[in-house]
């Protein structure tokens, strides 16, 4: 019985330069983090220039958006930060009249926050800036490439969520 010789796997995109990288930096998760960090750093610079907002502030303004007032606790959950950090950033946004705070009429122990007219203008600048950055980032991809990429990202995100849940179960 003769065996067929094994075929080498075809080279993967980017694999040629991988030999020069430290093993961890060649991994998909590291590459995605580098991309995410570059995009975040560019966003921080843009939103500082467009609306005078820090990274925490633009996250809050973006999350508050054009939604009805929300509690500080709910906002903290939405942005994944602790209530203390949120409260400090909100104080700055309130002092600059971008956010309004009020006691919840249904529960006076709870504070509700929402964007003011100036806050909405900052929000709209963020959204317009984000749309422009997104367009520029993706303009080199065909619609088929984009659909394929987004499908892969969705599947990887689902798998990463499963992996996180499994890690939490082990702790």
* Segment 102-149, tens digit of pLDDT: 999 999 899 999 999 999 999 998 899 889 999 999 999 999 999 999
In a domain, 113, yes or no: yes
What is the three-class DSSP state of 9? coil
Q: What is the DSSP letter of 2?
A: P
Tokens of residue 124, six digits? 């709209």
pLDDT at 4 over 60: no
* CATH number of domain containing 135: 1.10.10.10
More confident residue, 75 or 21: 75
Report pLDDT for 10. 44
Per residue in 16-54, pLDDT (tens digit) is 555 566 777 778 889 999 999 999 899 889 888 888 888
Q: Are 101 and 113 in contact (CB under 8 A)?
A: yes
Structural domain count, the chain? 2
* Domain containing residue 166: 141-171
Q: Are 99 and 113 in contact (CB under 8 A)?
A: yes
Q: What's the per-residue H, E or C state across 63-81?
A: HHCCCCCEEHHHHHHHHCC
In a domain, 146, yes or no: yes
In a domain, 73, yes or no: yes
């Amino acid at each position: 019985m003769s065996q067929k010789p094994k075929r080498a796997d075809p080279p993967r995109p980017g694999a040629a330069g991988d030999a020069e990288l430290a093993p961890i930096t060649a991994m998909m998760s590291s590459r995605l983090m580098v991309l995410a960090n570059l995009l975040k750093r560019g966003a921080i610079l843009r939103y500082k220039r467009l609306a005078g907002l820090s990274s925490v502030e633009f996250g809050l303004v973006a999350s508050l958006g054009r939604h009805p007032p929300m509690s500080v606790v709910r906002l903290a959950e939405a942005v994944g930060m602790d209530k203390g950090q949120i409260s400090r950033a909100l104080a700055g946004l309130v002092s600059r009249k971008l956010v309004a705070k009020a006691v919840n009429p249904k529960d006076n122990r709870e504070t509700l926050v929402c964007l003011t007219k100036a806050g909405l203008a900052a929000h709209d600048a963020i959204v317009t800036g984000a749309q422009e950055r997104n367009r520029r980032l993706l303009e080199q991809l065909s619609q088929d490439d984009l659909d394929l990429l987004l499908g892969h990202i969705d599947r990887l995100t689902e798998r990463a969520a499963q992996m996180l849940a499994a890690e939490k179960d082990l702790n």
